[in-house]
Structures are given as structure tokens and as C-alpha cells.
Amino acid sequence: METRKKDHINLASQAQLFEQEVADSFYYEPLLTSNELKPLPKTKFLNKELSLPLWVSSMTGGTLEARKINQNLAKACAEFCLGMSLGSCRSLLESNDRFDDFNVRPIMGPDLPFYANLGIAQVEKVIQENQVDKINELIFRLQADGLIVHVNPLQELLQPEGDIYFNPPIETISSLLEKFEFPVIVKEVGQGMGPKSLEALFRLPVAGIEFGALGGTNFSLIELMRSNDLMLEEMGDWATIGHTAFEMVEFINLLPKELVAQKQIIISGGINPLSGFYLKQQLQAPSVMGMAYRFLKYAREDYNQLRNYILMIQKSLQMAQNFLHKI
């Protein structure tokens, strides 16, 4: 007790919060419940059940380090009952050489949502070559539930070796849905989507949408940093173009309710447990929180670090369940 009291005294000067730093997204009600943390309710998502409303967003593949990362992430999904999507599986369209980097369904087990991932440029090419069966085979080999298609025009244009696609992505996605046997989710990769793009997606029979909003890992900025100093200096503003998760929730809530209710949403792009909890409350559609960078950070290290991080997220969500009320 004496040590704790000394800590309180010594740390008091560093623990000052000012009005502009105070979170004002919730009513905080400390008198209406105990501080015993109760289990979170199960979340029905993509026809399966999650113990935490949490999604491991697409990250990586195709390297030995990626194999370790994906295996650690899959192990965490199995332990905590989370959903997961792989990083780009482009290499698997042509070769099985890197298959073991992505083959994590045996670790996750059959009962959790698990999605493969391809870029819109690869999807366009496969459709043009009348080889959609290649994607069906990819899903079958990975024992995945479906496909996430990432739409990333800015990243591709700013990437030194980026791909060009020639049709509007909404047309390519529509064509894929006509030929593809499995559910499809569409996401951005760090810039988010505006209201017209979102409405166009909601009018297609996609299973869901992942935000990939502005505010988290920004792949346009990554490509600028991979390029040269001139590109970074003169075109760096392009990395700031896009929409935050907060904006995207507002856009979706303005859509007709009959459209919104039919889709599953992964809220991602710079969110943390508190902001994710808030956005889930605000969004008028079934949703989970998607995270990538923090998972990547800890999945590269010892599995226990990743496990402890997820336990911290769980505790934060349980606390929010106890004390935070929608404004």
C-alpha cells in the first residue's frame, strides 16, 4: 500500500488531463452497475459466432516472417473466437510455393469466419481472362469462407511498381459477383470511401464492407516513403485524401435502412477499443471492429504478447459495456 501511495504522489504531475483532452463521445455512468466485469455477448457475424466483436484485418503474406505472423494471428483467433482475413493472396493464383504462409484454417478451426484477399487489379485481370475458377480454387484450397477484394487506386498509382486497372471497380465487383461462388467483402486500404462509393456497394449483393478508413495504416503514404524524396515532398498531400471511420458511419446511416440492414460491416482505420465501441453503437448495421497494425506489432513477437494485447482489448470492451452509455 505504501508503494502504491508513493506512486500516486510521484505520478500526479504527469497525470493531468485538460478539458480539450476529455473524451465526450459517451455518457459515463459510474453509479448504475458494479465494477465486476461480465462476459461480452456473442456476436453473430457472416453466419458464424464470435466471442469478441473483433476482426483481424488483412495484413501480409508471401514471406517467412509473414508465415509466423499469420500463424500467431490464427492461433489468437482460435483462442478468442475472432474473425480473420488474409493479406493479398495474389501469389497463390499462379503458384503454391508460398501456400504455407496463408494456410491457417487448420489452426483456426472450421467455425470462425476466415477470408482470402485479392486486389481489384488481380480480380479485373482474372475476369478479363475468363479465369474466375482460379479464385474459386484459391478459396477451396485455403478452406476460406469467401473473398475480400481490396480497392486501392491511390496506393497503386503512388507505388513505383503499381498496377493499373482499366474499369471502374464497381463494374469489376459486379461482374465478379455474377461468376463467383462465395461471399465477397469489399474494402479500402487506408483512405476509406465516400458516400457515392458506399451507396453503390450497398446496392450490390456483397456480403459486407470493410472501411479501411483514413486514420490508420496508410498504404499510400507507405508507397510514397518507398518511392523518392521528390514524390514524398510534392505528392505527400495525397496520403491525406479520404474519409475517417467516423465520417463513413455517418454516410452509411444516411442510406436507406433496408439497404444497410442486409450488409455486415467491419469498422477499421485507426480505431481503438473505445472509438470502435462508440462507432458500433452509432452504426445502424451489424458490425465488428477491424484492426491490423497493433495485431501486426505483437504477432511479430512472442505469442504471449499478442495474447496479452487481446486480453487488454477484451477488458476495455467489458469496461465500456459496464459504464458507457450512448449519447
321 is a domain residue:
yes
Q: Report the number of distinct structural domains present in the chain.
A: 1
CATH assignment of the domain containing 304: 3.20.20.70
Please enumerate in sequence order all residues whose Cβ is within 8 A of that of 307, keeping only pairs 6 or more positions apart, or say none.
76, 79
In a domain, 110, yes or no: yes
Domain ranges, residue 80: 28-326
| Residue 260 lies inside a defined structural domain of this protein | yes
In a domain, 41, yes or no: yes
Cα separations (Å) of 311 from 56, 72, 165, 238, 314? 14, 15, 41, 36, 5
Is residue 13 in a domain?
Answer: no
- The partner residues of 179 in beta bridges, in order of sequence, read none
- Total-model pTM: 0.92
Q: Give the span between the Cα atoms of 162 and 284, in whole angstroms.
A: 36
Please indicate, yes or no, if residue 8 is contained in any of the structural domains. Answer: no
In tens digits, the chain (327 residues) has pLDDT values of: 656 545 544 544 554 444 444 567 889 999 999 999 999 999 999 999 999 999 999 877 667 788 999 999 999 999 999 999 999 999 999 888 899 999 999 999 999 999 999 999 999 999 999 999 999 999 999 999 999 999 998 888 888 787 888 999 999 999 999 999 899 999 999 999 999 999 999 999 999 999 999 988 888 888 888 878 887 777 778 888 899 999 999 999 999 999 998 899 999 998 999 999 999 999 989 999 999 988 998 998 889 999 999 999 999 999 999 999 988
All three cell numbers of 32, joined, read 448504475
Whether 1 is covered by a domain: the verdict is: no
> Domain for residue 224, yes or no?
yes
